Amino acid sequence: MSALSTKNLLGIQDITQEDIHLIFKTAKNFKEVINRSIKKVPSLRDITVANIFFENSTRTKISFELAEKRLSADIVNFNSGSSSVKKGETLIDTVNNILAMKVDIVVMRHPVPGAAKFLSRHIDASIINAGDGTHEHPSQALLDAFTLQEKLGDLKHKKILIVGDITHSRVALSNIYCLQKLGAKIRVCGPPNLIPNHLETLGVDISYNLKESLAWCDAANVLRIQLERQHDKYFPTLREYSLQYGINKKIMDELNKDIIIMHPGPINRGVEITSQVADSSESVILDQVENGVAIRMAILYLLSTQ
Ligand code: CP
């Protein structure tokens, strides 16, 4: 297979296992390219990409922009905070104005779940969802699974733990869809009120016991507590959360086995993970960031050839 089954990347739920393998194969080639002394290829010459971010981002925004530059695309960047959205302009009007300037691909982050899908119904350009509220973050899940595959090989039957604030995490949902499509077993672990019951219907194992879950897994993806999305109080204090669900060196030492530690960032050091663990040899957090550029180059390239 040499083409994706879709013209947009709205979520991992919508793509096939073959799409994921094609993205990984393409990303592997681009990873070689970005490690050469000349890191740029002409693959997206004459393609214009708009990065439109209605929510804060460091990694995703920089990573997409770098991927576009490495592919020789023309880029326009839009931040809602300094735009006419502040004057009441709607999402469709904003994007249609950008598209009138002949944009081919839109990379969008938005706080509302489903915003990328909504947009895809109204415009012709390819849409890449760079995170839509608590729904999906497909490029993050692809770079996470790609990193895991580099470290563990075939992910079939591998045991992957997702720890933390599952309810408010788009990374959790996209990781579940992606890793299940690759045959991995998934367990989520966190406080009961931060794990939605409906996850059981997705075939995900649920646990509230961190030590037992870490002992079970081959890799743990540790998530940030998303205070900005929590409208109720889910635990008394961050210290209390950290005592029950934070990953520290003592817990890791007591495991008596090596596991891979991941985190999508941004990290709340000392809350969900200590610096000693985040910066340890078991952590692949910076490999995830490096792989993010190659994965996003692959997504952009494959969508541009649709
Ligand atoms: N992982 C991630 O989405 O980070 P940013 O919010 O910084 O883009």
Rounded distance from Cα 66 to ligand 1 centre (Å): 14
Measured distance CA(63)–CA(57) in Å, rounded:
10
Whether 265 lines ligand 1, by a CB cut-off of 6 Å, is: yes
Indicate if the pLDDT at residue 294 is higher than 80. Answer: yes
Distance (Å, rounded) from C-alpha 299 to C-alpha 67? 10
Q: What's the pLDDT score for residue 229?
A: 63
In the block, which residue shows the tokens 């897994």?
217
- pLDDT band (50, 70, 90) for residue 227: low
Asked if residue 71 lies in contact with residue 44, where contact means CB atoms within 8 angstroms, the answer is yes
Query: Which atom belonging to ligand 1 lies closest to the Cα atom of 109?
Result: 8
Residue type, 44: L
Mean pLDDT of the region 262-277: 96
Domains of the chain, first to last: 12-136+289-304 (3.40.50.1370), 138-284 (3.40.50.1370)
Percent of the chain with pLDDT over 70: 96
pLDDT on residue 137: 98
- CB of residue 266 inside a 6 A radius of ligand 1: yes
pLDDT of residue 269: 95
Kindly report, residue by residue over 48-106, the tens digit of the pLDDT. 999 999 999 999 999 999 999 999 999 999 887 766 777 788 888 888 887 888 899 99
Asked if residue 45 has pLDDT above 70, the reply is yes
The model carries a pTM of 0.94
pLDDT of amino acid 98: 79
Question: Which pLDDT value is given to residue 83?
Answer: 67
Output the CA 61–ligand 1 centroid distance in Å.
8
**Main-chain dihedrals φ then ψ at residue 282, nearest 5 degrees:** -80, -15
Q: Indicate the SS3 state at residue 197.
A: helix
Mean pLDDT of 147-152: 98
Task: With cut-offs at 50, 70 and 90, classify the pLDDT of residue 44.
Answer: very high
The number of the ligand 1 atom at minimal distance from the alpha carbon of 264 is 1
